[in-house]
């Protein structure tokens, strides 16, 4: 019997390249999956169609989750920005920080009281290794995902002993439509690995089922993340060749 048998799981970004296979795997594990996206989520038992970029819609969604709180909230929806930070439109930066950080914070705020009151629940935030190893030309994305890591740690400590767990997963790049043509060129130019989305989804589903705290995908990425926390200059030097290749290709 799965821990998720009969449980309600709400997933933002459930129609996306990672969200859809995660939704399918959790449904196969017995969960009733509620997708939250701008379109219907084919792998979900029901869908809340909404626009997370809209203040009114986000407020209504938060109210709905507060009054009808799922057993598990999974924040997968995200926005990528690539290119020189100085060239990014302010509106694009605002959307990146909003969807990647503000939305998970607002939705966690909505579900935490009910989860705490009943003594059970799980909040899952899907970050990125770029939050632990901030990359040039992904500055807004990296910093928003770094903020999501801090949000996850802070929530975990607030909810310690309440029966509510917080899971934070850092995938690497995945081969999905989330990456536009320029991002794919960047991956090719720098030799960065992009994972099969089905494999990423399986690791996320396992982290949810096992109620793991922090998961980072990729051995070298974990090593670089630890080095970056201890001595960022070492990582600066280690990335020089990749940065040089990217500058030659793009800038």
- The question of whether 141 is a catalytic residue gets the answer yes
What residues contact residue 239 under an 8 Å CB cut-off, 6+ apart? 135
Q: Are 209 and 3 in contact (CB under 8 A)?
A: yes
Question: What are the distances in angstroms from CA 229 to CA 65, 119, 146, 243?
Answer: 35, 34, 12, 20
Per the residue annotation, which of 97, 135, 141, 224 is the catalytic one?
141
* Closest to 249 in 3D by CA, of 185, 184, 183: 185
**For residue 186, what are its two tokens?**
């960047």
**For residue 171, what are its two tokens?**
């995938």
Cα 225 off chain centre by:
17
Active site residues: 141
């Amino acid at each position: 019997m799965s821990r998720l048998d009969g449980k309600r799981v709400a997933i933002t970004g459930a129609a996306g390249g990672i969200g859809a296979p995660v939704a399918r795997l959790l449904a196969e594990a017995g969960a009733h999956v509620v997708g939250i996206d701008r379109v219907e989520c084919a792998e979900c038992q029901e869908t809340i169609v909404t626009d997370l970029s809209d203040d009114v819609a986000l407020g209504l969604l938060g109210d709905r989750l507060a009054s009808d709180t799922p057993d598990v909230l999974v924040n997968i929806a995200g926005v990528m920005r690539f290119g020189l930070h100085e060239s990014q439109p302010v509106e694009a930066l605002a959307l990146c920080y909003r969807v990647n950080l503000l939305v998970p914070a607002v939705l966690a705020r909505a579900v935490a009281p009910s989860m705490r009151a009943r003594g059970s629940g799980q909040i899952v935030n899907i970050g990125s290794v770029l939050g632990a190893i901030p990359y040039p030309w992904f500055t807004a994305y990296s910093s928003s995902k770094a903020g999501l890591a801090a949000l996850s740690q802070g929530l975990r400590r607030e909810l310690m002993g309440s029966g509510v767990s917080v899971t934070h997963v850092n995938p690497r790049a995945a081969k999905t439509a989330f990456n536009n043509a320029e991002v794919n060129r960047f991956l090719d130019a720098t030799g960065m690995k992009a994972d099969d989305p089905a494999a990423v989804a399986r690791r996320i589903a396992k982290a949810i089922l096992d109620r793991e705290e922090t998961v980072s995908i990729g051995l070298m990425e974990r090593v670089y993340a630890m080095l970056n926390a201890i001595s960022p200059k070492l990582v600066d030097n280690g990335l020089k060749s990749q940065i040089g290749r990217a500058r030659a290709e793009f800038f």
